[in-house]
Chain A
Amino acid sequence: MEPERPNKVAMKNSFQELIKGIIKENPTFVLMLGLCPTLAVSVSLINGIGMGIAATFVTIGSNIIISQLKNIIPGKVRIPCYIVVIATFVTITELVMKAYFPPLNRALGIYVPLIVVNCIVLGRAEAFASKNNVRNSLMDGIGMGIGFTLALLLISGIRELLGSGKLFGYNVFNKFEPALMIAMPSGALLVIGLLLAFFNQIKEKKE
């Protein structure tokens, strides 16, 4: 029975790596990373999900590759190396999106290539994948991706509901004058500011 135990511990560890990205270290609300795409694309739920999945794919892919290469990459040039790996995955995403989801690609616009400079991806490569094994890095990538996607869903859900009175493009309210301002860029900043204040308040009450 002895050899099984470390395995179980490892399983438990990698499960924790998966979970922590969702709430405790949520990339958007706790780590405050990758805000630019979050705010820019969160006009509708579809865009939010598209961006979330794209960023998740890039995070997982780059985490796996970088955790495998961590002993080969020299310390001094590690950031350019990470960027090349990340940019490769972003290019894959860009081409797939252009080929199979052209409307989504048009809606997301320049924010697809900009996933390269999304701090979440580079941040996880530097802070986690360069120090951990492949399995934990994979779990970390999945967890961070889910956390990012959930945050996007929350913000884009609020904005689509209040800004255009719809959810996934379907009308929700009958008689409702949508607050156009929420669908505008200033609405994105307002929503995320209030959400952050809300989470701060909850954290404070807990303590």
Chain B
Amino acid sequence: MNAGQFLTIFISAVFINNVILSRFLGLCSFIAISKETRPAFAMSLAVMFVTTMSSIITWLIYRFLLIPFNMTYLRTISFILVIATFVQLVEMVIRKFAPALYRFFGIYLPLITVNCAVLGVAVLNSDMFFTDGKSVAGGFLFSTFQGICVGLGYMLAMLLMSAIRERLDLCNVPKALKDFPLGFIIASIMSLAFMGFNGFKF
């Protein structure tokens, strides 16, 4: 475990395998909520928080519950249930103790339960940082860090996209391309640009 590995995870999760532009996770929310910058920012903050926390929780569950009892086939069910419960819990806590923050996140928190990015990073962690039913050294820190980085990658794509779409509002585009089709085409060009980061591979 050294700083280099963390750097690799960071660059891979944020740029090379960007969660939206190359893995296509959380695409629905990416297209639906990226019309303006403010809600896009709120959504990405919420996603980053949940991916980080769910990385921690699902790692603990996988390491200390599923592997010792030989129940790894329950991975999908247990992960999604824990994530759904956790999101619900966070929503309740925020609503009770931080009403201002709750208004800021608004409807985006419950939406995160069905955001593929959250379950995706949990499944990826359990694929990447466990070999032959054993956690790799420092796997817990790697998982947590990957959770943060995936959230960062989501935020980066979200902010870029919303900034572009805010400008596009002023343009005159063909009617057939309006909203979703144009959103996808922009995302395609962004994804092409992100492919340039492939040269970073080391």
Spell out A's residues near B (CB within 8 Å): 32-33, 35-37, 39-40, 79-80, 83-84, 87-88, 90-91, 94-95, 110, 113-114, 116-119, 122, 181, 184-190, 192-194, 196-198, 200-201, 204
Contact of B25 among A36, A90, A189 (CB under 8 A): A36
Contact B77 A114 (CB under 8 A): no
- Interfacial chain B residues near A119, Cβ < 8 Å: 28, 114
Give the CA-CA distance A117 to B77 in the complex, in Å.
Answer: 11
- Interfacial chain A residues near B84, Cβ < 8 Å: 79-80, 83
Give the CA-CA distance A180 to B102 in the complex, in Å.
Answer: 45
- Interfacial chain B residues near A87, Cβ < 8 Å: 76-77, 80-81
Q: For A80, give the chain B residue with the smallest CB separation.
A: B84
Give the CA-CA distance A37 to B120 in the complex, in Å.
Answer: 11
Give the CA-CA distance A81 to B178 in the complex, in Å.
Answer: 37
A-B contacts besides A36-B24, A84-B81, A194-B181, 14 pairs, CB < 8 Å = A35-B27, A39-B24, A40-B24, A80-B84, A80-B85, A94-B73, A113-B75, A114-B116, A114-B120, A185-B195, A186-B190, A186-B195, A197-B174, A197-B177
Contact of B187 among A88, A95, A189 (CB under 8 A): A189
Tier of interface size on chain B:
35 or more
Contact A114 B27, CB 8 Å, known A84-B77, A186-B191? no
Contact A35 B24, CB 8 Å, known A110-B127, A117-B116, A119-B114? yes
- Interfacial chain B residues near A200, Cβ < 8 Å: 175-178, 181
- Interfacial chain B residues near A110, Cβ < 8 Å: 120, 123-124, 127
Contact A186 B188 (CB under 8 A): yes
Contact A80 B81 (CB under 8 A): yes
Q: Is B182 an interface residue (CB 8 A)?
A: yes
Contact B27 A36 (CB under 8 A): yes
Instruction: With both chains docked as a complex, state the minimum distance between the C-beta of A102 and any C-beta of chain B, in angstroms.
Output: 15
- Interfacial chain A residues near B197, Cβ < 8 Å: none
Q: Is B95 an interface residue (CB 8 A)?
A: no
Give the CA-CA distance A181 to B196 in the complex, in Å.
Answer: 12
Q: For A32, give the chain B residue with the smallest CB separation.
A: B180
Contact A117 B119, CB 8 Å, known A188-B24, A196-B181, A200-B175? yes
Contact B184 A196 (CB under 8 A): yes
- Interfacial chain A residues near B174, Cβ < 8 Å: 197
Within 8 A of A (CB), among B115-134: 115-116, 119-120, 123-124, 127
Q: Is B93 an interface residue (CB 8 A)?
A: no
- Residue contacts A-B, CB under 8 angstroms, 8 given: A32-B180, A37-B24, A186-B189, A190-B188, A193-B182, A197-B176, A197-B177, A198-B176
- Interfacial chain B residues near A186, Cβ < 8 Å: 21, 188-192, 195
Contact A113 B187 (CB under 8 A): no
Q: Is B74 an interface residue (CB 8 A)?
A: yes
Q: Is B151 an interface residue (CB 8 A)?
A: no
Name which of A32, A39, A122, A197 has the most chain B CB atoms within 10 A of its CB. Answer: A197
Contact A114 B180 (CB under 8 A): no
Instruction: With both chains docked as a complex, state the minimum distance between the C-beta of A153 and any C-beta of chain B, in angstroms.
Output: 18
Instruction: With both chains docked as a complex, state the minimum distance between the C-beta of B6 and any C-beta of chain A, in angstroms.
Output: 22
Give the CA-CA distance A80 to B87 in the complex, in Å.
Answer: 12
Contact A117 B115, CB 8 Å, known A39-B24, A80-B81, A110-B123? yes
Contact indicator per residue, chain B 150-186, by CB within 8 Å of chain A (1) or not (0): 0000000000000000000000001111101111110
Give the CA-CA distance A193 to B149 in the complex, in Å.
Answer: 28
Contact A193 B183 (CB under 8 A): yes
